[in-house]
A and B are shown apart, each in its own frame.
Chain A
Amino acid sequence: MAEIPKSWNVPSPDGLVKEVDHSPASMGLQKGWMSTTPVEIKPGMHCYAALPKRSKALGMPNPRNWSAMDEDWKLPRNWKEIVLEGMKERLGKFRSFQLFMDICVRCGACADKCHYFIGSADPKNMPVLRAELLRSVYRKNFTTAGKLLGPIAGARDLTLDVLKEWWYYLYQCSECRRCSVFCPYGIDTAEITMMGRELTNLLGLNIDWIAAPIDFCYRTGNHMGIQPHAYKEMMEFFVDEVENYTGVRVEPSFNRKGAEILFVTPSGDVFGDPGTYTAMGYLVLFHELGLDVTWSTYASEGGNFGLFTSNEVMKRLNAKMYAEAKRLGVKWILGGECGHMWRVCNQYMGTMNLDMAKGSKMEEPVSPITGTKFENAKSTKMVHICEFTADLIRNNKLKLDPSRNDHLTVTMHDSCNPARGMGFFEEPRYVIKNVCNHFYDMPENTIREQTFCCGAGSGLNAGEDMELRMRGGLPRANAVKYVHEKYGVNKLACICAIDRAVLVDLMQYFVPEVDVTGIHEMVANAMILEGEKEKTVDLRGEPLPGKEDSK
């Protein structure tokens, strides 16, 4: 018979509420946040360490087997020097980093805006405190006051415990930038997290959920490591499915030189449900329009986990888009529904890689169907598919029967990056309202620029950190639950591949009556297609309203 552990004392009613051990004293908070005891790395709250082969493939430092749960992280002997040198280099290179280290006045406006803080109540998830983890080391090593006055000036030494605390909390930030909306100085905590992750990566402290996709992406073309023939076969499977459900056989092309448009989307849409139905939606739309568009098995990934690693890796992975556009001779790039892909393409790609487009046939994107010039995409030559579709609808170029979506009551989750990274609020809503009859927004302080993260952005969409994801996703789920109870919402629409993957988990836990969809899945379901058979099912093979008996 198993022995009962000694720690299993019978608790008293008083004890059960008293003995929770994050009292101020146990956390060391009475002495101030800086003197807390070493951080306890907890299972469910962090991601597994990168395998050495990933780091080797990318030429990243210190490849080895290690685990955050181990006492010894197998760091290089001169790790402290490496971090401080790295910090110095980045302070010189990125003015924003220097500025964000200096100008915070600790007003606290950001403190209660982070979804991880709201869901966990862990004070170190307040954006200000998370940033202070780095700032305290910055002050100690790079400011006169910090050097002289130490803790009084909010400065502290970089010790192994501090480093572990950095790492633990840098991977409890999804770089969603909600806090920055409320900062009176415009401090972008996401960029502080990025710098922190770059610094810890110098010691080989990468996580596998990020390192594996970048390794695959760098060598095979996409996050999943899918080779070109498999990518094509998967799409052919969609072609059969679409024909099965609609009676229309779509004919996508791959790596086709001379096409007008190159289409790039996250590989999650091609291989992971329910993103696959969105991919089928793209196929239907392109076919119906007769669009001169090609898919690429080389630029087969819209996502870019380099964004969560370092600016160099991000640049390297992003380069494929222009390289392929140039090779195929397309005029412009159409981008699928993705979150962080659009932060990279909208905010960084132009300055990072535009020189690669020199000598290509790319020009200011013009919709071949409506003639609309996408002036906003003049520099990057890349258009968001929701803008493209919204323009089609506005110009009456799509035959739509929104009643085909009448079994859906829809709300929309603004994905952080398109929302806060490119101010993309109305286009997706305009599309949704034209393809389905029942749409209800969530409360104002949970959408648009104030949108709550899915809880799993910035490479935290692994399985092993599920507790973290549920805590971080709680504010989003709470708002969905509200519209579910008030309006009967049963579908959560989003324009991000990570959202499509992780919101399903979040909904299953908090609001199981609500399912997740991409927008172009609903668009395709509402489209009246040339030569379609009498439709009885949607792209998931599920019966349309009123057709429940005909399956």
Chain B
Amino acid sequence: MSLNDLLLQKRSHIVKKWCDVILQTYPEESQGFLRKQKDRFANPVGHTIFEGIESIYDELLQETESGKISLFLDNIVRVRAVQDFSPSQAVGFVFGLKKVIRKELKSEILKEGIAEEWAAFESKIDGLALLCFDIYTACRQKMFDIKVDSVRRQTGGLLRKAGLMYELPQNEEGLNEGQVNKGE
């Protein structure tokens, strides 16, 4: 049996374990809520994680990449990038999949002699981590941009009023005349 077949066969079990591992990065008191509340609007964090990793798992098993992986990774990382995590903790959840598969499929992988397939699959997971790093950095950069924009918007009116910000009129006839430095 190939690794892909094994992973397909044990899909729901592995995804559940992977989800558990990720939820364990949250405070214990809150894990029950994140796991049990199924309403996607009442529990956006739990929903985003579960829906995300399920889809990421399926995408990993596909032969060709559809580009959807980065979308689901983005959803998860975007949330974790503003939660109480260090950068490595925010993106490290992808390695949880390695941990789960090693534990769950170790004997089968050895028995079937598919260690090479497993090594290739692990590289895919490493790729995910790099992608997460890009997304995380973009999210944090976005936060800085937002802070700058926010200040600009709040004071936009004041700057206009103070004449510090002046947009040239659309009709620029006579502009050159007005621009001439009379003191020259």
Contacts and interface: CB of A to CB of B under 8 A. Distances in A.
Interface of A: 11, 13-14, 16-20, 22-24, 27, 29, 42, 111-112, 117-123, 126, 224, 226, 230, 233-234, 237, 270-274, 276, 443, 445-446, 463, 466-467, 470-471, 474-475, 478-479, 482, 501, 504-505, 508-510
A17 B42 contact: no
B92 A470 contact: no
B90 to A, nearest CB: 10
Nearest to A464: B147
B150 A234 contact: no
B63 interface: no
Contacts of B12: none
B27 A16 contact: no
Contacts of B93: 16-17
Question: Which of A42, A112, A234, A471 counts the most B-chain CB atoms under 10 A from its CB?
Answer: A112
Nearest to A270: B157
Contact of B146 (A13, A42, A121, A508): A508
A162 B22 CA distance: 31
5 closest A-B pairs (Cβ-Cβ)? A16-B92, A13-B95, A123-B29, A478-B44, A271-B157
Contacts of A111: 33
B143 A17 contact: no
Nearest to A241: B160
B30 A230 contact: no
B95 A121 contact: no
8 contacts: A16-B92, A19-B89, A120-B83, A121-B34, A122-B27, A445-B41, A466-B146, A509-B78
Contact of A14 (B99, B147, B153, B158): B99
Interface in B73-95: 78-79, 82-85, 88-89, 92-93, 95
B151 to A, nearest CB: 6
Contacts of B84: 22, 42, 120, 122
Contact of B27 (A22, A276, A467, A501): A22
A273 B153 contact: yes
A112 B88 CA distance: 28
A13 B34 CA distance: 23
Contacts of B153: 272-274, 501, 504
Question: Which of A17, A233, A474 counts the most B-chain CB atoms under 10 A from its CB?
Answer: A17
A43 B83 CA distance: 12
Contacts of B106: none
Contacts of A474: 44-45, 79, 82
B26 A22 contact: yes
A273 B27 contact: no
A496 to B, nearest CB: 15
A19 B34 CA distance: 19
Given A112-B33, A276-B157, A463-B150, A508 B142 contact: yes
B154 interface: yes
Nearest to A502: B150
A143 B158 CA distance: 53
Nearest to A506: B146
A276 B161 CA distance: 13
Interface in B95-148: 95-96, 98-99, 139, 142-143, 145-147
B25 interface: yes
A14 B157 CA distance: 52
Contacts of B37: 112
Given A482-B41, A509-B146, 14 more contacts: A16-B88, A16-B93, A17-B99, A20-B25, A118-B42, A271-B155, A271-B157, A276-B156, A445-B42, A478-B44, A482-B40, A501-B154, A504-B153, A505-B146
Given A121-B26, A501-B154, A13 B85 contact: no
A270 B33 CA distance: 43
A123 B142 contact: no
Nearest to A24: B28
A123 B31 CA distance: 10
Contact of B29 (A29, A276, A505): A29
Given A466-B143, A509-B143, A16 B95 contact: yes
Contacts of A443: 41
Contact of A471 (B22, B83, B96): B83
B27 A123 contact: yes
A479 B142 contact: no
Contacts of B27: 22, 24, 27, 29, 121-123
Contacts of A234: 157, 161
Nearest to A446: B41
A117 B30 contact: yes
Contacts of A478: 40-41, 44, 48
Contacts of A24: 27-29
A466 B147 contact: yes
B92 A11 contact: yes
Question: Which of B27, B33, B34 counts the most A-chain CB atoms under 10 A from its CB?
Answer: B27
Contacts of B69: none
A272 B39 contact: no
Contacts of A482: 40-41
Contact of B157 (A13, A119, A126, A273): A273
Nearest to A117: B30
A29 B28 contact: yes
B2 interface: no
A248 B63 CA distance: 62
B92 A17 contact: yes
A461 to B, nearest CB: 9
A245 to B, nearest CB: 12
Contact of B158 (A23, A122, A271): A271
B157 A123 contact: no
B143 A470 contact: yes
Nearest to B167: A541
Nearest to B43: A118
Nearest to A444: B41
Given A17-B99, A19-B89, A471 B28 contact: no
Given A112-B37, A120-B83, A467-B82, A272 B154 contact: yes
B96 A17 contact: yes
B44 A16 contact: no
A11 B151 contact: no
B58 interface: no
